[in-house]
Amino acid sequence: MLTSSLTSSTRVLAAAVAICCFTFASSCFRQQGSTPQVNNSAKALFTIKQNGKYGFINPAGTVIIRPQFDDARKFFEEVAAVKIGGASGKWGFVDTTGTLIINPQFDDVDAFSEGLAAIKMNMGSPNGVVGRWGFIDRLGRVVTQPQFDQASSYTEGLAAVRVGAKWGFVDKAGKFVAPAQFDDARNFVDGVARVRVGNKFGFIDKTGKFIANPQFDAAYDFSQRFAAVNVGGSVIPSPGGNKSSSKQTITAPSKWGYISPNGKFVINPQFDRAFDFSEGLAAVKLGDKYGFIDTAGKYIITPQFDSAAKFFGGLARARSGGRYGFVDRSGKFVIEPQFDGADDFYEGIAIVQVGGENSGRYGFIGKDGKFVINPMFDYAEDFTEGVSAVQMPSASGYIDKTGRYVWKNN
């Protein structure tokens, strides 16, 4: 999790732990290059906790699935993972009516993606109990036997899996299309996946062939058919494999540029930082200032901000003079810098922070910069389907866009 105000990160993280029963929306302030995790169910349902049990409500706050589970996760592809049996219980899946469609039998699970879900089974071995991951379909049938040390969700028909310390990719039959040979691997985007060999990053196609050999000191995934890459420095990748590989620490001077899906540079390395393209523009850093370029590498907004984020809905967060505001595509502040932290606009509303680490509060503004919900929360999540998860010292739950609680936890 990354807050726009660095000093507030610890406080927000503590609040996030306290509000752990909210598993629907995404975090307050997002890292560059990330996107909100959105419930793609036709019937948006939100996780609640009541008297120690988990259930689900709809955006109006009506209980659709009564609290009865020992744990529960968000809905994807019309199903949600639920746990029964306490801390040592098993995971299964329910549909949007609360009917168990796959009985609890797994030690851990991931969400369904492209009709399949990763499942974990604990198994005995000479070294004790070890967990192995496989995949099931919507009927609960095992389509790939548990055999992997870690597994990610399917994207574009392939899933990254780990065997020992190495990552590879399997198809939906569980067959390796790229052997487990990489030190890290990310999901496919636009037919290309980012991988790491040693301390260098490269990109492969769906046959496992390198379209860009491991040569970059850091790299982002493709976005709008461009990937930001770093050359000329040295990097210490974070441990943990696929699920934490977005953290890359550059330890020497270097430059960033952009490659296309054929692995060739389309914008030569020249920036001190570079981020994902969004709405045809990308934030870049030159010296100590941030600006925006187009897909030809031309400056559309000259570097002038202390920091900047990607465009969403025609606006981008930018910091000037120690405060955050929002600029349009001309670089003009349409919402003047005045906030200690800010998130992007979702559903026409953005979270902003007013105050410092110990006394700051989160509220919501509209695109005119005016508060639609005053700063009063210790923690807040982006609106999704008209609902946001929030926490105050005296209450936590879900609010609508007027600030009215549709559900309060007990």
Report the SS3 class of residue 56.
strand
Q: Which whole number is the average pLDDT over 156-175?
A: 98
From 116-130, 134-148, 283-297, the region with the lowest mean pLDDT: 116-130
| pLDDT the model gives residue 249 | 56
Q: Could you tell me the pLDDT band of residue 234, with boundaries at 50, 70 and 90?
A: low
Q: For the chain, what's the residue count?
A: 410
Query: By 3-state DSSP, what share of the chain in percent is helix, strand and coil, each rounded to 5?
Result: 5, 55, 40
Is the pLDDT reported for residue 250 higher than 60?
A: no
Question: What DSSP assignment string belongs to 235-294?
Answer: EEEPSSGGGGTT-EEE-S--EEEEE-TTS-EEEEEEESEEEEEETTEEEEEETTEEEEE-
Per the prediction, the chain carries an average pLDDT of 87
337-346 pLDDT tens trace: 999 999 999 9
From 152-156, 195-199, 239-243, 398-402, the region with the lowest mean pLDDT: 239-243
| pLDDT the model gives residue 243 | 46
Residue 283: strand pairing partners? 292
Report the SS3 class of residue 87.
helix
CB atoms within 10 A of CB 230: 23
Provide the CA 351 distance to its chain's centre, in angstroms: 17
Gap between the Cα atoms of 227 and 275, Å rounded: 8
Compute φ and ψ for 362, nearest 5 degrees: -105, 140
Gap between the Cα atoms of 28 and 44, Å rounded: 20
Q: Give me the torsion for CA of 340, 344, 345, 351, rounded to 10°.
A: -40
Provide the CA 104 distance to its chain's centre, in angstroms: 27
| pLDDT the model gives residue 9 | 31
**pTM for this structure?**
0.83
Is the pLDDT reported for residue 17 higher than 90?
A: no
**Exposure b/e, 80-91, CB count within 10 A at least 16 = b:** bbbbeeeeeebb
366-388 pLDDT tens trace: 999 999 999 999 999 999 999 99
Is the pLDDT reported for residue 205 higher than 50?
A: yes
87-118 pLDDT tens trace: 899 999 999 999 999 999 999 999 999 999 99
CB atoms within 10 A of CB 62: 10
Is the pLDDT reported for residue 199 higher than 60?
A: yes
State the DSSP code for 59.
T
| pLDDT the model gives residue 8 | 34
Contact yes or no for 367/375 (Cβ under 8 A): no
Q: Which whole number is the average pLDDT over 198-211?
A: 97
216-228 pLDDT tens trace: 999 999 999 999 9
Residue % of the chain over a pLDDT of 70 = 83
Q: Where are the domains of the chain?
A: 113-219+226-247
Q: Which whole number is the average pLDDT over 42-48?
A: 84
Gap between the Cα atoms of 120 and 148, Å rounded: 9
Report the SS3 class of residue 74.
strand
The CA-atom distances, in angstroms, between 235 and each of 193, 253, 288, 348 are 19, 10, 21, 38
Contact yes or no for 279/344 (Cβ under 8 A): no
| pLDDT the model gives residue 361 | 96
Question: What DSSP assignment string belongs to 220-247?
Answer: ---BTTBEEEEESS-EEEPSSGGGGTT-
